[in-house]
A = this chain, B = another copy of it.
């Protein structure tokens, strides 16, 4: 399976590593909006190509992995490139998925390609956990917790405050809430009861720490509804201890069955990830395999993880999977 990478940031680099882990994949080319000569990749003898030339690669790439962002890149890129290639994206703006799906489906169906959108862990594996959990325990409740991990949006919000030089915000699930859910009590949890927010902030010279802390803690939507801790640290400490990309989270379905619904069942799926982009990349490659298989079966159009049989993610045959993993 010949893979193309479109966009070479953290996610693109992760996909490059993921390709090496999968012996049925090879990297055909990396596409960039930058000057290709300025982009150094880790794989020898693979071309870096300017995005303007991508149309020439239609017969040399089986699946194109779109590694741009959800805010502005993917809403435009996925429908556009689904007209030329089988594509996978990690579009993660939950509220806009139906609209994105419709555009990508039209493009892929029209051009006889396969597109799988919103691939990753949330949306992605967490969506699978929710779908399986809801189907199996219809009389139940869903809980999703995120973290411990960096929220890019919240980090950006802190960085926009005057006097802040740099900042990182960690979302931390609260153990007491997790344990209440796991106990099968089906608690109603407020926003404040589910997650803590912890900020690490580097100040500009002469900035007013107390005022900045007040602004963070009272910021509507982002922090006001949470218990928030603000730590002021040096730039050295920031670079040394807060440049990681770890993340994770928990999806729990708690449901009841039987006579008077007396029996409770807990289905829990959780992730603990050293590198959010590298893990997401590995999910993208598994779904690229599924896209290529659907393409070979001439099942075109836009799909999500909910549409894909689990066996399609594997390079093993059905007989191997039944013997080894079932």
Contacts and interface: CB of A to CB of B under 8 A. Distances in A.
Contacts of A318: 306-307
B97 A136 contact: no
Contacts of A134: 314, 325
A228 interface: no
Given A21-B139, A274-B263, A131 B323 contact: no
A264 B247 CA distance: 11
A131 to B, nearest CB: 5
Interface in A2-50: 14, 17-18, 21-22, 42
A307 B313 contact: no
Interface stretch (A145-153, A160-168, A265-273): A265-273
A69 interface: no
Interface in A255-310: 257-259, 262-275, 278-279, 281-283, 286, 289, 304-310
Contacts of A272: 182, 184, 265-266, 268
A311 B131 contact: yes
A326 B94 contact: yes
Interface in A96-138: 97-98, 101, 118, 123, 125, 127-128, 130-132, 134-138
A251 to B, nearest CB: 10
A321 interface: yes
A118 to B, nearest CB: 6
B278 A313 contact: no
Given A14-B258, A97-B326, A135 B265 contact: no
A214 interface: no
A265 B257 contact: no
Contacts of A323: 97-98
Contacts of A182: 272
B286 A135 contact: yes
Given A127-B326, A282-B137, A307 B311 contact: yes
A321 B308 CA distance: 14
A180 to B, nearest CB: 14
A131 B271 contact: no
A314 B257 contact: no
A150 to B, nearest CB: 15
A71 interface: no
A322 interface: yes
A210 interface: no
Contacts of A313: 131-132, 135-136
Contact of A309 (B138, B281, B309): B309
A132 B319 CA distance: 16
Given A131-B313, A306-B318, A258 B275 contact: yes
Interface in A75-102: 94, 97-98, 101
A131 B270 contact: no
Contacts of A94: 326
Contacts of A278: 257-258, 263, 265
Given A135-B313, A257-B282, A265-B278, 15 more contacts: A17-B257, A125-B267, A128-B132, A131-B310, A131-B321, A135-B310, A136-B313, A257-B275, A263-B278, A263-B279, A265-B274, A268-B268, A268-B271, A268-B272, A306-B309
